[in-house]
Amino acid sequence: MFDVIIVGAGSVGCATARELSRYRLRVLVLEKGHDLCAGASKCNSGMIHAGYDPIPGTNEAKFNAPGCRLMYQICDELSVPCLKNGTTIFATNESGMRELYKLEGFARENHVRAEIVTPPSLYELLPDIGKDVKAVLWVPDGGVTNPFCVTFALAENAWANGVEFYKEAEVTDIQKSEEGFLVTARMPASQAMDIPGTTPADAQPEGGTCPVTFSARMVINCAGGHSDVINNMVSEKKFRIIPRFGAHVVLDRKHSDKLTTTLMETPHDLPGGGHTKGMAIITTTGGTMLLGCDATEVDDPDFTDTRRESIEQIVDYFKKAWKDLPLGSDGTPFPEDEIISIFGGCRPHADTNDFVIGEPDDAPGFVNAGGTESPAFTACYAIAQHVAGICIDRLKPPVNENFDPHRPAKKAFRDMTNEERRAAIAENPDYAKIVCRCEMVTEAEIRDAIRRPLGARSISEVKLRTRAGMGRCQGGFCSPRVLEILSEELGISPLEVTQCGGSSRVLAGLACNA
Amino acid sequence: MKEVELVVIGGGAAGMAAAVSAYKNGVRDILILERNSALGGVLQQCIHNGFGLHRFKEDLTGVEFAARYADMVQELRIPYLLNTFVIELHSDRTITAVSPEEGLMEIRAKAVVLAMGCRERSRNALLIPGARGAGIMTAGTAQRYLNIDGYLPGRRIVIVGSGDIGLIMARQFVLEGCEVAAVVEIMPYSGGLPRNMKQCIEDFDIPVYYNSVISEVCGKERVSSVLVGKVDENRRLIPGTEFEISCDTLLISAGLIPENELTESAGIAMSRATKGALVTEDLQTSIPGIFSCGNVLHVHDLVDFVSEEGEEAGRNAAAWLLAEKETALKETASKETVSKEAVSKEAASKETTLAETASKEETKAGNIRVLSGDGVGGIVPQTVRQDTPLPEVHFMFRPLARYRDAVITARYRDTVNTSGAGENGAARTASTGGQTGQNSMNASGAGENGAARTASTGGQTGQNNRILIRKRFLALTPGEMCKITIPAEKLKNAPEIIFDIEGTQV
């Protein structure tokens, strides 16, 4: 019997788990993906939105600004890199100016610091901004962090404080029961057999999986793109997720020092349909630059293919806008040959046009934290505090005296000083084995990413945790070595190592001459 | 801090050749830094033949070719460190490297040869849309899985691009019992060597789709098929031309990119055309004493030319070190009365201002700009010093298109403004300029290229053009390097050198 089951281990689910771990509660997180952070938390830009743009009065407005403050605090407590470099929304024409004034008004109502800056002060703020820029809305509290690192750090900290996790556990049914809820999840038979109380008789293998039923006093729905499905299992107050796909183009780190703040043009309708917060250029904490993103409605919330239309839209937009940005105002053309990657994913937009937060009237004990489109990543901890608060009020648990808000984290080798590097190598010579050349990731860090609690089990899971394969060559050089290390650490044949879980094996077999 | 006369970064074909030739030219204190566990670089995974035909007049495998040079390195007892990764290169020629055996080491080098090679262009850099599961990798990665690790990365393969590694891998996959369903090439012709097209593709009846791209990768967790479509003359997909090819693997063989992150971090001026350092005819970069050679300087077609260029760089580095020593000796002699302490101080300050002084000297001496005219891609070297000590200068570049009955000419314009030449052509003047200086230099360089191209129409009238050399070729293709050698004597009075290709485009 669990006190609370959290469905979904994205940023909101892991934040909620971590917040609940402050109390003496038995908490279980069920994640359907092969890894944590498998949905929208993995595909977003990592921007910390200050909260200047949600429509005042909405849940998005209510949780964004407090979430922003909490995000900086979480990054500090859990040793996750973040940059508070402000957000700058620029306007190049009259309609853009109107939009700036509107956003300034929203910011005021949402209690977010924001200020319209026009020339000449604009050129003090941003000396290299293009001359066609009429004004900017300067939002000093905006920033950027790494969404995977945040999510993994929250999960690890929750785990260290006693929360249990199952990956590859897809919730297929939720029934109300006397004590609360019966939550059934389908998971690999091998994992199910290890669960106390599950007997081989319970297992009805079906494609290697079997259903396992857990009982819980309360359930929190943090299922992101699938939060409608989970809600609709329990409540008659139904909603629907309309997945909104967006893509990002990643630029080489070469010129990122020229970009001192996140810059985005005022939101406008996209030529291909859709509407975004504005096309942004963001320097990530890893040093690369992200360009994006567009918005297109799709059917599958798990859709992550890169769409030709999205890429063309982003590249075409930045080719035009480059002259307005500090990187192109001197006439430098858009560096198309410095694009190193493209990625995309879906925002879980609810048909209610807002986050769906709280208990539906007809399902007490079932708490929604759904419809978590942007700015939900920024808001994740504020949402977590709110939904965890509902559980605490209901269950009145004692405080967990052993709760440790910090997570032991080593600095990345690439961020160390040479003295720190020397010391790290002296302690563990694997620090001197550079596996990923482009991002300077060492064998020690890759082994650690696999050995850590809730660690990596595939090549792309190593990438998310260490940046190995995220650089210029996109894993061309390092993936064979990462595969070898995974095989050693997991005790499996290299042939069984996957790109991203499931049937995504990298290798097809032995060479005939091997 | 460890002091070494010559550090060679990279122990592949270029680096080993540079070290061996520097040794033969009198340098004894050499150190090769190699990141892999053996010398040889990418040659270690090249088990096919065709290497060494020029250099050794023998048909060797890549592994054998590497062994020839590795043996020379061993015989000459040239020190090398394996598993050693250079993490920093500074403009004062200090190097930080790490290895499990030595830990973190800092090395002060009098001269440096850059020989880091290149990487492959990735699927994402090519903006190939679609699924992102398993089964997509570069041809070189597949080569490593197959030849080093002994694994098959897939069984039914489509190859994007007709670069040499892809062509070699196509044949090898067929020999491994796999099916190569298609080679998809965006250009109307192959990007690889003609001999590889013949021996690896035509001989095995592998279908090649020219003027075509992958418009989408399909599949969920692993590739299940690709959509192939035609492109128009602007290389944009023509909607409606797509058809599906089922496959479980997509190999990317669409170009190599010099790995110049260290070069750029040291502030060395770069060429936008070659993606390598800007160099003078002795392969010296904008920082005096730092030389560049092989695929890190510009992407070669044959390893024979890579090692040839490595040997050149090693020889030139040796000559530069000798000249530096002589200068230092003269200075010491002329300042006999000065105390030893002051001398060493002098030497230290000289070290730091070296770049500056050298650049001044260079400008004074005058440089000859090397420019691309019609049909010519990025040229190495970009600058020839008018007082070059070399007896002849080698120019290398790739044709921008495929030609039949072609003539390559090198010429200069009589009326050219020579003051501009000093400014643009002097790679070394930008040495401390960092990013901005670099960009402006490249931008102006590009402008000059354009100018040369416009001026080339003047070739018909010929009144202002002085021809330095004319060479006739039966055929030229972008897959093959052009190598033109001109005696230094002939270049003495040229304010610039422009290369053109004339011929029938096919």
How many angstroms separate the first and last alpha carbons of chain A?
52
Q: What pLDDT is stored for residue A43 in this prediction?
A: 93
Is residue B435 over pLDDT 70?
no
DSSP B196-236: HIIIIIGGGT--EESSEEEEEEEESSBEEEEEEEEB-TTS-
**CA B225 from centroid of its chain's CA atoms:** 34
Residues B459-486 have pLDDT tens digits of: 444 457 899 999 999 999 998 999 999 9
In this structure, are strands A47-48 and A82-83 parallel, antiparallel, or unpaired?
unpaired
Per-residue pLDDT tens over the stretch A213-222: 999 999 999 9
How, if at all, do strands A241-251 and A209-221 pair?
unpaired
CA distance A162 to chain B (A): 33
Task: For chain A, give percent helix, strand, coil, nearest 5.
Answer: 35, 25, 40
Residue B341 has pLDDT above 90, yes or no: no
HSE-up of residue A96 (Cα within 13 Å, Cβ side): 16
Closest partner residue to B134 (CB to CB) among A308, A330, A504 is A504
**By C-alpha distance, which of A346, A283, A291, A298 is closest to A318?**
A291
Are residues B261 and A307, on separate chains, in Cβ contact within 8 Å?
A: no
SS3 A205: coil
DSSP annotation of B162? -
Nearest to B119 among A332, A476, A506 (CB): A476
Q: Which of A305, A316, A433 to mutate to test the interface with B (most CBs of B within 10 A)?
A: A305
B134–A506 CB contact, under 8 Å: yes
> Mutating which of B99, B151, B271, B299 best tests the A interface, going by the most A Cβ atoms within 10 A?
B151
Query: What 8-state DSSP symbol labels residue A161?
Result: T
- Residue B15: is its pLDDT beyond 50? yes
Q: Note the pLDDT of residue A64.
A: 98
CB pair distance less than 8 Å for A425 and B35:
no
Write down the pLDDT at residue B479.
87
**HEC sequence for A64-76:** HHHHHHHHHHHHH
pTM recorded for the entire structure: 0.91
Distance CA(A260)–CA(A281), nearest Å, equals 11
- Provide the 10 A C-beta neighbour count for residue B459: 17
- Distance separating alpha carbons of residues A13 and A223, to the nearest angstrom: 8
Give which of B215, B178, B171 is closest to B193, Cα–Cα.
B171
**B contact test, residue of A251, A298, A306, A415 with most B CBs within 10 A:** A306
- Nearest by CB to A425, from B96, B103, B106: name it: B103
Query: Exposure of B417 by Cβ count < 10 A (0-12 exposed, 13-18 middle, 19+ buried)?
Result: exposed
CA B417 to chain centre: 30
pLDDT at A196: 77
Distance from the Cα of B396 to chain A's closest Cα (Å) equals 23
Residues A407-420 have pLDDT tens digits of 988 899 999 999 99
Would you tell me how many other CB atoms lie within 10 Å of the CB of residue B47? 17
B428: nearest Cα among B262, B287, B263: B287
Cβ-Cβ contacts under 8 Å, B215 against chain A: 308
Token pair in block for residue A272: 């291909």
pLDDT in the model for residue A272: 53
Residues of chain A with Cβ-Cβ distance to B216 below 8 Å are 308
What is the least distance, in Å, from the CA of B496 to any CA of chain A?
26
Which residues of chain A are within 8 Å of residue B240 when distances are taken between CB atoms?
Answer: none
Q: Which residue of A has its CA nearest to B216?
A: A308
What is the dotted CATH code of the domain comprising B136-254?
A: 3.50.50.60
Which residues of chain B does A331 touch, with a Cβ-Cβ cutoff of 8 Å?
Answer: 443
For A251-260, A264-273, B103-112, which range has the lowest pLDDT when averaged over its residues?
A: A264-273
Compute CA A65 distance to the chain's CA centroid, rounded to the nearest angstrom.
18
Of B37 and B492, the structure prediction assigns the larger pLDDT to B37
Question: How is residue B277 annotated by DSSP?
Answer: B
CATH architecture type of domain A87-140+242-350? 2-Layer Sandwich (3.30)
d(CA B228, CA B231): 10
Residues 6+ apart with CB under 8 A from A105: none
Chain B CB contacts of A510 under 8 Å are: 150-152
Cα separation, A242 vs A246, in Å, equals 13
- Using an 8 Å CB-CB cutoff, list chain B residues near A500: 133-134, 221
Contact A259, A281 (CB under 8 A): yes
Structure-token pair, residue B328:
């230092």
Sign of the CA dihedral running B35, B38, B41, B45: negative
Is CATH 1.10.3230 what the domain over A413-496 is classified as, yes or no?
A: no
Contact yes or no for B153 and A512 at CB 8 A: no
* The two three-digit tokens of residue A416, written as one number: 């160390």
Record: contact A431-B249, CB cut-off 8 A: no
Distance, in Å, from the CA atom of A314 to the CA atom of A312, rounded to the nearest integer, reads 6
Helices (H), ranges, A2-58:
11-20, 40-43
pLDDT at A3 over 70: yes
Class of the CATH domain delimited by B1-118+257-334: alpha beta
Contact: B221, A504; criterion CB under 8 Å: yes
Rounded to the nearest angstrom, the gap between the alpha carbon of residue B221 and the centroid of all alpha carbons in its chain is: 36
Catalytic residues of A: 49
Ranges for all domains in chain B classified under CATH 3.50.50.60:
1-118+257-334, 136-254
pLDDT digits (tens, 9 = 90+) for B352-362: 444 444 444 44
Query: CB B221 to CB A438 under 8 A?
Result: no
Query: Quick one: pLDDT band at residue B160, thresholds 50, 70, 90?
Result: very high
Mean pLDDT on A493-502: 96
Does A472 sit within 8 Å of B261, measured CB to CB?
Answer: yes
Q: Determine, for residues A422 and B153 on separate chains, whether the beta-carbon distance falls below 8 Å.
A: no
Residues 6+ apart with CB under 8 A from A452: A156, A465
Average pLDDT, chain A: 94
Question: Which stretch of DSSP H or E encloses residue B501?
Answer: strand B496-505
**Is the model's pLDDT at A375 over the cut of 70?**
yes
Question: pLDDT > 70: what percent of chain B?
Answer: 84
Mean pLDDT for all residues in chain B: 87
Note whether B141 contacts A433, CB cutoff 8 Å.
no
> First and final CA of chain B: distance in angstroms?
57
> B98-157: per-residue pLDDT in tens?
999 999 999 999 999 999 999 999 999 999 999 999 999 999 999 999 999 999 999 999
**Average pLDDT for A104-119:** 97
Query: Which residue stretches of A161-304 are H helix?
Result: 189-193, 227-234
Percent of chain B whose pLDDT exceeds 90: 78
pLDDT: is B90 or A253 the higher one? B90
Residue A187: exposure state from Cβ atoms within 10 A (0-12, 13-18, ≥19): buried
Q: What percent of chain A has pLDDT over 70?
A: 96
| pLDDT tens-digit readout, B206-257 | 999 999 999 999 999 999 999 999 999 999 999 999 999 999 999 999 999 9
A2-43+148-240+352-395: CATH class: alpha beta
Mutate to test the interface with A, among B98, B237, B251, B252 (most CBs of A within 10 A): B98
CA distance A14 to chain B (A): 25
Pairing of strands B243-246, B223-230: antiparallel
pLDDT at residue A513 in the model? 59
Span B161-167, average pLDDT: 94
Map out the domains of chain A as residue ranges.
2-43+148-240+352-395, 87-140+242-350, 413-496
Q: If you search the block for the tokens 């592994």, which residue do you land on?
A: B63
pLDDT reported for residue A512? 80
What residues of chain B lie within 8 A of the CB of A514, using their CB? 150-151
> For the residues B32-44, what does the mean pLDDT come to?
97
pLDDT at position B360 is 40
